[in-house]
Structure formats: structure tokens, C-alpha cells
Amino acid sequence: NPPNFNLKEDLTNYQTPVAIVNTSASDSSQMMEDLLIDISDDTKSTQSVAPSDNLLEDETLFNRSQDISDLEQKVLQYDAMLKQNRSETDDLHRTIAIKDAELTAERNHRLQIEEQLRHQLNNQQSIEEIHALDNKTNSNEKFNKLLDTYNQLREEHIVVLRREGETKKQLENLNQQYTQLQEDYNKKENEFNQNYQKFNNEIMQLRQTND
């Protein structure tokens, strides 16, 4: 029976009706769990993608920087080799110049001795003529002195000729070495220029890619 609100007892005991939806506790927990799982999965996937891209980009930049450093190091190595070869060529060129000067000095010395020998021969002929005319002691002494001088000059002339031949042979060997070294230098210089241009182009391309 509906309550009679005119009666105090019915008014006091009246309870307002409440609508009740039958939902089990397990279903509610499952919904909350699914919601939490979905949110956490999205967060994890977002976080996992971004760092991976950053690491890949950093690794690429590092590799390019390393390539640039390696190419620059190769350029420095080729430049050092070229400078060393050039230094050896210059040293050998100076040695050749010294030997050439020695050869010139030996040749001049030889010519001087030959001139002295000719002079001594002329004197010897004159003394022999004098000796044939005058058989005095002074003439014999002068003749012997001139003869000794002549013999000394002849021996010195032989030594100078031998030394001149050795110097000439050394100079020929040095010239051959210099020619070979100069060819090696030109070859290395051409190789250096080609590699330098190649490395320089690669470095510029890598730097442009980094930029």
C-alpha cells in the first residue's frame, strides 16, 4: 500500500526508491584494467619509437664524422709521405751538386798538373841540352832535382786521374738515383693530388649531408 503522508509514522519510515544496475565487481575491475593496459601500451609504444629514431640519427652523424676524420687523416699521411720524398730528393740534389763541384776541382787540378808537366818537360829538354854541353856538378844537381819534380808530378797526375774517374763514376750513380727519385716523386705527387681531390670531395659531401 502507498504510504499515507498524513500519518506521522508513515512519513517517518518512508525511504526514497533507488535504481540499481546489476554490474558485477569482476566486470568493473576488468574494464578498469583494460583501460589501464590500453593507456600504458600507447605510452610505451610512443616512448619506444622516439628514442630509437634519435639513437639512429646520432649513430649516423657519428659515423659520418668518423669518416671525415679518417679521410682527413689519410690526406695528412699522403702529405707527410710527399714531403719526406721531396726532402730526400733535395738532399740527393745537394749531394750531386757537391760531387759535381769536386769533379770540377779535380779536373782543374789535373789540367794544372798537366801544364806543369809540360813545363817540366820543356825544362828537362833544355837541361839535357845543357848537360850535353857542360858536364859540371851544378848541371847534374839541377837535372836531378827537375827529374824528381817531374816524377812527383807524374805520380800526382796519375792519382788525380784515378780520383777524377772515381768521382765521375759516383756522380753518374748519383744522377741515376736522382732521376729515379725524381720520377718517384712525380708519381707520388700525381697520386697525392688525385687522392686529395677525391678525399676532399668526399669530405665536402659528408659535411653537406651532416648540415
Instruction: Please provide the DSSP assignment of the chain as one string.
Output: ----TTSHHHHHH-----------HHHHHHHHHHHHHHHHHHHHHHHHHHHHHHHHHHHHHHHHHHHHHHHHHHHHHHHHHHHHHHHHHHHHHHHHHHHHHHHHHHHHHHHHHHHHHHHHHHHHHHHHHHHHH---HHHHHHHHHHHHHHHHHHHHHHHHHHHHHHHHHHHHHHHHHHHHHHHHHHHHHHHHHHHHHHHHHHHHHHHHHH-
Q: What's the structural domain count of the chain?
A: 1
What integer pLDDT is reported at residue 163 of this predicted model?
Answer: 81
Higher-pLDDT residue of 113, 31: 113
Domain enclosing residue 134, as ranges: 90-200
| CB neighbourhood size of 123 (10 A) | 15
In degrees, to the nearest 5, what angle opens at C-alpha 69 toward C-alphas 66 and 70?
A: 85
For residue 126, being part of any structural domain is answered with yes
Q: What is the pLDDT of residues 53-63, one digit of tens each?
A: 666 666 666 66
Long-range contacts of the stretch 193-199 (C-beta < 8 A, 24+): 195/74, 195/75, 195/78, 196/75, 196/78, 199/71, 199/72, 199/74, 199/75
Q: Is residue 161 part of a domain?
A: yes
pTM: 0.43
Write down the pLDDT at residue 49: 46
Task: Give the pLDDT confidence of 153-183 residue by residue, as tens digits.
Answer: 778 778 877 888 887 888 788 778 878 877 8
Q: Is residue 29 assigned to a domain?
A: no
pLDDT at position 110 is 76
- Residue 53 maps to a domain: no
**Among 84-98, 127-141, 168-182, which is the least confidently predicted range?**
127-141
Domain membership flag for residue 102 = yes
Would 208 be classed as within a structural domain? no
Residue 137 pLDDT greater than 70, yes or no:
no
More confident residue, 193 or 147: 193
Q: Answer yes or no: is 112 within a domain.
A: yes
The pLDDT of residue 46 is 46
Q: What's residue 143's pLDDT?
A: 61
Burial class (CB in 10 A: 0-12, 13-18, 19+), 24: exposed
Task: Determine the pLDDT at residue 53.
Answer: 61
Q: Return the pLDDT at 33.
A: 55
Q: Is 68 a domain residue?
A: no
Mean pLDDT, rounded, of the chain = 68
More confident of the two residues 56 and 1: 56
127-144 burial by CB neighbour count: b if 16+ within 10 A, else e? beeeeeeeeeeebeeebe
